[in-house]
Amino acid sequence: MSFSSKIVLITGASRGIGAATAIMFAKEGADVVIVGRNEEKLKEVEVECSKFGKKPLVITADLAKDEQVKGIVNKTIDAFGKLDILINNAGILKKNDIKSEGFIETFDEVMNTNLRASVLITNVAIPHLIKTRGNIINVSSVAATSTSVVNSVTYKVSKAALNHFTRCIALELAPHGIRANTVSPGPVETDIFETAGIPEALQNYSGQLPLKKVGKKEEVADLILFLASEKAQSITGANYVIDNGWLLN
Protein backbone atom coordinates (compact mmCIF):
# COMPACT_ATOMS: atom_id res chain seq x y z
CA MET A 1 0.00 0.00 0.00
CA SER A 2 1.21 3.48 -0.87
CA PHE A 3 -0.04 6.72 0.62
CA SER A 4 2.57 8.95 -0.99
CA SER A 5 0.12 11.72 -1.92
CA LYS A 6 -2.10 11.50 1.15
CA ILE A 7 -2.45 13.78 4.16
CA VAL A 8 -3.35 11.79 7.27
CA LEU A 9 -4.49 13.32 10.57
CA ILE A 10 -4.28 11.06 13.63
CA THR A 11 -5.52 11.95 17.10
CA GLY A 12 -4.15 10.22 20.17
CA ALA A 13 -0.89 9.79 18.29
CA SER A 14 1.55 10.19 21.14
CA ARG A 15 1.51 6.51 22.10
CA GLY A 16 -0.07 3.12 21.58
CA ILE A 17 -2.20 2.43 18.52
CA GLY A 18 -2.08 6.06 17.41
CA ALA A 19 1.71 6.21 17.44
CA ALA A 20 2.03 2.87 15.63
CA THR A 21 -0.46 4.03 13.00
CA ALA A 22 1.35 7.32 12.43
CA ILE A 23 4.68 5.55 11.98
CA MET A 24 3.17 3.03 9.59
CA PHE A 25 1.53 5.73 7.44
CA ALA A 26 4.84 7.61 7.34
CA LYS A 27 6.57 4.43 6.22
CA GLU A 28 4.08 4.17 3.37
CA GLY A 29 4.85 7.70 2.19
CA ALA A 30 2.05 9.75 3.73
CA ASP A 31 2.35 13.23 5.18
CA VAL A 32 1.24 12.70 8.75
CA VAL A 33 -0.30 15.08 11.27
CA ILE A 34 0.15 13.73 14.79
CA VAL A 35 -2.03 15.10 17.59
CA GLY A 36 -1.84 14.53 21.32
CA ARG A 37 -1.48 16.15 24.72
CA ASN A 38 1.93 14.76 25.67
CA GLU A 39 4.47 16.92 23.86
CA GLU A 40 7.44 14.79 24.89
CA LYS A 41 5.84 11.58 23.60
CA LEU A 42 4.80 13.31 20.37
CA LYS A 43 8.41 14.28 19.77
CA GLU A 44 9.41 10.62 20.08
CA VAL A 45 6.82 9.68 17.46
CA GLU A 46 8.00 12.57 15.29
CA VAL A 47 11.53 11.14 15.30
CA GLU A 48 10.29 7.70 14.24
CA CYS A 49 8.10 9.09 11.45
CA SER A 50 10.91 11.30 10.16
CA LYS A 51 13.09 8.24 9.52
CA PHE A 52 11.02 7.61 6.39
CA GLY A 53 11.86 10.94 4.79
CA LYS A 54 9.02 13.25 5.78
CA LYS A 55 8.77 15.25 8.98
CA PRO A 56 5.26 15.09 10.44
CA LEU A 57 3.25 18.08 11.54
CA VAL A 58 3.11 17.90 15.34
CA ILE A 59 0.14 19.47 17.11
CA THR A 60 -0.16 19.50 20.88
CA ALA A 61 -3.83 19.91 21.74
CA ASP A 62 -6.51 19.07 24.27
CA LEU A 63 -9.45 17.52 22.43
CA ALA A 64 -11.79 18.54 25.25
CA LYS A 65 -11.40 22.17 24.15
CA ASP A 66 -13.40 23.14 21.08
CA GLU A 67 -11.13 25.90 19.83
CA GLN A 68 -8.10 23.63 19.98
CA VAL A 69 -9.95 20.93 18.03
CA LYS A 70 -10.87 23.45 15.33
CA GLY A 71 -7.26 24.62 15.33
CA ILE A 72 -6.04 21.09 14.56
CA VAL A 73 -7.89 21.02 11.25
CA ASN A 74 -7.00 24.61 10.40
CA LYS A 75 -3.29 23.98 11.01
CA THR A 76 -3.44 20.85 8.84
CA ILE A 77 -4.99 22.75 5.93
CA ASP A 78 -2.56 25.65 6.37
CA ALA A 79 0.38 23.23 6.19
CA PHE A 80 -0.77 20.90 3.41
CA GLY A 81 -3.75 22.48 1.69
CA LYS A 82 -5.94 19.41 2.04
CA LEU A 83 -6.93 16.45 4.20
CA ASP A 84 -7.41 12.92 2.89
CA ILE A 85 -7.69 10.65 5.91
CA LEU A 86 -8.93 11.29 9.44
CA ILE A 87 -8.12 8.76 12.15
CA ASN A 88 -10.05 9.39 15.37
CA ASN A 89 -8.00 7.35 17.80
CA ALA A 90 -7.88 9.43 21.00
CA GLY A 91 -9.56 7.72 23.91
CA ILE A 92 -9.38 7.14 27.65
CA LEU A 93 -10.43 4.30 29.92
CA LYS A 94 -11.47 5.04 33.48
CA LYS A 95 -13.02 2.75 36.02
CA ASN A 96 -16.39 3.94 37.24
CA ASP A 97 -19.41 2.50 38.98
CA ILE A 98 -22.97 3.72 38.41
CA LYS A 99 -23.40 3.64 42.20
CA SER A 100 -20.46 5.93 42.94
CA GLU A 101 -20.74 9.62 43.80
CA GLY A 102 -18.28 10.71 41.12
CA PHE A 103 -19.94 8.75 38.33
CA ILE A 104 -21.28 11.71 36.35
CA GLU A 105 -17.96 13.59 36.45
CA THR A 106 -16.16 10.54 35.07
CA PHE A 107 -18.97 9.97 32.57
CA ASP A 108 -18.59 13.50 31.20
CA GLU A 109 -14.81 13.24 30.98
CA VAL A 110 -14.82 9.92 29.13
CA MET A 111 -17.68 10.85 26.79
CA ASN A 112 -16.03 14.16 25.93
CA THR A 113 -12.79 12.45 24.91
CA ASN A 114 -14.07 9.20 23.42
CA LEU A 115 -17.13 10.51 21.59
CA ARG A 116 -17.62 14.27 21.50
CA ALA A 117 -14.07 15.07 20.40
CA SER A 118 -14.36 12.63 17.49
CA VAL A 119 -17.72 14.08 16.48
CA LEU A 120 -16.42 17.64 16.64
CA ILE A 121 -13.20 17.10 14.69
CA THR A 122 -15.13 15.10 12.09
CA ASN A 123 -17.64 17.93 11.74
CA VAL A 124 -14.87 20.49 11.27
CA ALA A 125 -12.98 18.26 8.82
CA ILE A 126 -15.94 17.34 6.61
CA PRO A 127 -15.67 20.25 4.12
CA HIS A 128 -12.07 19.30 3.43
CA LEU A 129 -12.77 15.56 3.24
CA ILE A 130 -15.55 16.21 0.73
CA LYS A 131 -13.03 17.91 -1.55
CA THR A 132 -10.72 14.88 -1.49
CA ARG A 133 -13.44 12.19 -1.32
CA GLY A 134 -11.69 11.26 1.88
CA ASN A 135 -11.74 8.60 4.51
CA ILE A 136 -12.68 8.45 8.20
CA ILE A 137 -11.60 5.66 10.53
CA ASN A 138 -12.75 5.68 14.14
CA VAL A 139 -10.93 3.50 16.65
CA SER A 140 -13.50 1.90 18.92
CA SER A 141 -13.34 -1.27 21.05
CA VAL A 142 -14.94 -4.67 21.46
CA ALA A 143 -16.18 -3.21 24.74
CA ALA A 144 -18.86 -1.47 22.67
CA THR A 145 -20.76 -4.75 22.39
CA SER A 146 -19.61 -6.54 25.54
CA THR A 147 -20.73 -6.23 29.16
CA SER A 148 -18.36 -8.84 30.55
CA VAL A 149 -16.10 -6.42 32.45
CA VAL A 150 -17.69 -4.44 35.28
CA ASN A 151 -16.91 -0.89 36.41
CA SER A 152 -16.34 0.43 32.89
CA VAL A 153 -19.86 1.34 31.82
CA THR A 154 -18.95 4.80 30.55
CA TYR A 155 -16.12 3.51 28.36
CA LYS A 156 -18.42 0.90 26.84
CA VAL A 157 -21.24 3.36 26.22
CA SER A 158 -18.84 5.86 24.62
CA LYS A 159 -17.53 3.24 22.21
CA ALA A 160 -21.01 1.93 21.38
CA ALA A 161 -22.05 5.48 20.54
CA LEU A 162 -18.94 5.95 18.41
CA ASN A 163 -19.81 2.81 16.44
CA HIS A 164 -23.31 4.06 15.69
CA PHE A 165 -22.05 7.54 14.87
CA THR A 166 -19.73 5.96 12.31
CA ARG A 167 -22.54 4.03 10.65
CA CYS A 168 -24.75 7.12 10.50
CA ILE A 169 -22.12 9.35 8.91
CA ALA A 170 -21.12 6.57 6.50
CA LEU A 171 -24.63 6.77 5.05
CA GLU A 172 -24.76 10.57 5.07
CA LEU A 173 -21.36 10.99 3.46
CA ALA A 174 -21.53 8.21 0.88
CA PRO A 175 -22.93 10.54 -1.82
CA HIS A 176 -19.76 12.60 -1.43
CA GLY A 177 -17.51 9.57 -1.92
CA ILE A 178 -16.38 9.60 1.72
CA ARG A 179 -16.00 6.26 3.48
CA ALA A 180 -16.30 5.87 7.25
CA ASN A 181 -15.44 2.71 9.16
CA THR A 182 -14.67 1.54 12.66
CA VAL A 183 -11.86 -0.63 14.00
CA SER A 184 -12.62 -2.43 17.27
CA PRO A 185 -9.60 -3.93 19.01
CA GLY A 186 -9.75 -6.29 21.94
CA PRO A 187 -7.02 -6.07 24.60
CA VAL A 188 -3.85 -4.63 23.04
CA GLU A 189 -0.32 -4.21 24.39
CA THR A 190 -0.54 -0.50 25.23
CA ASP A 191 -0.51 1.45 28.49
CA ILE A 192 -4.26 2.15 28.54
CA PHE A 193 -4.87 -0.33 31.36
CA GLU A 194 -2.00 1.03 33.42
CA THR A 195 -3.30 4.56 32.94
CA ALA A 196 -6.72 3.37 34.08
CA GLY A 197 -5.20 1.95 37.26
CA ILE A 198 -5.64 -1.72 36.31
CA PRO A 199 -2.16 -2.77 35.05
CA GLU A 200 -2.81 -6.43 35.83
CA ALA A 201 -5.70 -6.61 33.35
CA LEU A 202 -3.58 -7.07 30.23
CA GLN A 203 -1.72 -10.10 31.60
CA ASN A 204 -4.97 -11.60 32.83
CA TYR A 205 -6.63 -11.26 29.45
CA SER A 206 -3.87 -13.05 27.54
CA GLY A 207 -4.75 -16.40 29.07
CA GLN A 208 -8.49 -15.93 28.70
CA LEU A 209 -8.68 -15.21 24.98
CA PRO A 210 -9.28 -18.07 22.53
CA LEU A 211 -6.00 -17.37 20.71
CA LYS A 212 -4.17 -17.14 24.07
CA LYS A 213 -2.58 -13.79 23.34
CA VAL A 214 -3.38 -10.10 23.37
CA GLY A 215 -3.06 -7.91 20.30
CA LYS A 216 -0.13 -5.79 19.20
CA LYS A 217 -0.60 -2.15 18.29
CA GLU A 218 1.09 -2.73 14.93
CA GLU A 219 -1.58 -5.30 14.05
CA VAL A 220 -4.30 -2.73 14.64
CA ALA A 221 -2.35 -0.17 12.62
CA ASP A 222 -2.14 -2.65 9.73
CA LEU A 223 -5.92 -2.95 9.72
CA ILE A 224 -6.37 0.82 9.82
CA LEU A 225 -4.09 1.24 6.82
CA PHE A 226 -6.00 -1.41 4.91
CA LEU A 227 -9.30 0.40 5.52
CA ALA A 228 -7.73 3.69 4.45
CA SER A 229 -6.39 2.19 1.23
CA GLU A 230 -7.86 1.68 -2.22
CA LYS A 231 -8.06 -2.03 -1.42
CA ALA A 232 -11.02 -1.19 0.82
CA GLN A 233 -12.69 1.20 -1.63
CA SER A 234 -16.05 -0.63 -1.41
CA ILE A 235 -16.11 -0.81 2.40
CA THR A 236 -18.03 1.78 4.38
CA GLY A 237 -20.12 1.72 7.55
CA ALA A 238 -18.34 -1.43 8.69
CA ASN A 239 -16.93 -2.39 12.07
CA TYR A 240 -13.77 -4.48 11.83
CA VAL A 241 -13.06 -6.50 14.97
CA ILE A 242 -9.48 -7.46 15.83
CA ASP A 243 -9.70 -9.14 19.22
CA ASN A 244 -7.98 -12.56 19.28
CA GLY A 245 -11.42 -14.08 19.77
CA TRP A 246 -12.62 -11.93 22.69
CA LEU A 247 -16.20 -11.77 21.43
CA LEU A 248 -16.34 -15.54 21.00
CA ASN A 249 -16.32 -16.03 24.77
- Tell me which residues are annotated as active site: 155
Dist. CA 76–CA 213, nearest whole Å: 38
Q: From CA 76, how far away is CA 107, in angstroms rounded?
A: 30
